[in-house]
């Protein structure tokens, strides 16, 4: 296991003067042969998307403690914080990804690649908490999303250039368990998109104080099989 030491702050408001943790992590993930990376607790300046699509690499990226590692996207950055769209068997755990206060222009986590496993994440204060727009066999569980314009959007080939989502493919077989959504304008949006392949989606969790709950627009045919067990 590699413990990553990098300048951090004690509060989110103080991170913008720090070096960019995203660029630093991308270099380490690409060159190191280590399979488990642990980022110490603290608030980090996330100005560059963390790319989880290193060719041929399977690894774990973890925070320290119980959501004590905070990755803060600066205002007006318009990026994907954790970019898993082309990842392959990557595990994420115990990380908090948030956008700086008053912004809501970025995406915390996008894509599942091949068999992404995300556990114990806290996503918030962004345009999108999680966008499932590409990947197969992904599992997200024990996830908290709060104060986003859209907590979860699942849609094949969905792009939003204004939020840094510039590429997508088909989404297939996504499982979400113990998802807690608080104080978002939209909780869950599912659209068929332009996929011609079957998508199987199962979500289980809780919605609290959101303006809109689950919006499921899969009326174009039988190629999207969505199952919801969400209480609110």
User: How many angstroms separate the CA atoms of 110 and 131, rounded?
Assistant: 5
Contact 81, 54 (CB under 8 A): no
DSSP 161: G
- The two tokens of residue 222 are 């039988």
User: How many angstroms separate the CA atoms of 112 and 86, rounded?
Assistant: 7
H or E element that contains 41: none
Domain containing residue 158: CATH number: 2.160.20.10
Helix ranges restricted to H, the chain: 21-31
pLDDT at 215 over 60: yes
Full-prediction pTM beyond 0.85? yes
Residue 77: what pLDDT? 94
pLDDT at 225 over 90: no
Query: Which pLDDT tens digit goes with each residue over 51-91?
Result: 999 888 899 999 998 889 999 999 999 999 999 999 999 99
H or E element that contains 86: none
Return the percentage of the chain with pLDDT > 70, whole number. 91
Q: In the structure, what pLDDT confidence band is assigned to residue 93 with cuts at 50, 70 and 90?
A: very high
Please tell me the total count of domains within the chain.
1
Query: Which pLDDT tens digit goes with each residue over 165-175?
Result: 999 998 888 99
Domain hosting 125: range is 2-231
Residue of 83, 71, 98, 89 lying closest to 4 (CA atoms): 71
pLDDT at 221 over 50: no
The mean of the pLDDT values for the chain is 90
pLDDT at 8 over 90: yes
């Amino acid at each position: 296991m590699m413990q990553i030491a990098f300048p951090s702050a004690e509060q989110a408001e103080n991170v913008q003067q720090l070096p960019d943790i995203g660029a630093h992590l991308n270099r380490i993930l690409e060159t190191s042969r280590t399979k488990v990376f642990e980022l110490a607790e603290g608030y980090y300046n996330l100005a560059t998307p963390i790319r989880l699509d290193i060719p041929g690499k399977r690894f774990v990226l973890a925070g320290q403690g119980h959501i004590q590692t905070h990755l803060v996207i600066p205002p007006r950055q318009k990026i994907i914080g954790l970019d898993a769209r082309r990842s392959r068997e990557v595990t994420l755990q115990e990380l908090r990804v948030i956008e700086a206060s008053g912004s809501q222009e970025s995406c915390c986590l996008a894509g599942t690649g091949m068999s992404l496993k995300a556990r114990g994440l806290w996503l918030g204060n962004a345009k999108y908490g999680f966008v499932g727009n590409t990947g197969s066999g992904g599992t997200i569980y024990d996830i908290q999303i709060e104060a986003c314009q859209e907590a979860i959007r699942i849609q094949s080939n969905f792009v939003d250039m204004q939020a840094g989502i510039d590429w997508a493919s088909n989404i297939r077989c996504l499982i979400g368990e113990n998802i807690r959504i608080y104080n978002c304008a939209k909780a869950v949006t599912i659209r068929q998109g332009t996929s011609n392949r079957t998508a199987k989606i199962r979500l289980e969790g809780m919605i609290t104080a959101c303006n809109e709950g689950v919006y499921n627009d899969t009326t174009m045919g039988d190629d999207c099989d969505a199952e919801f067990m969400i209480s609110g």
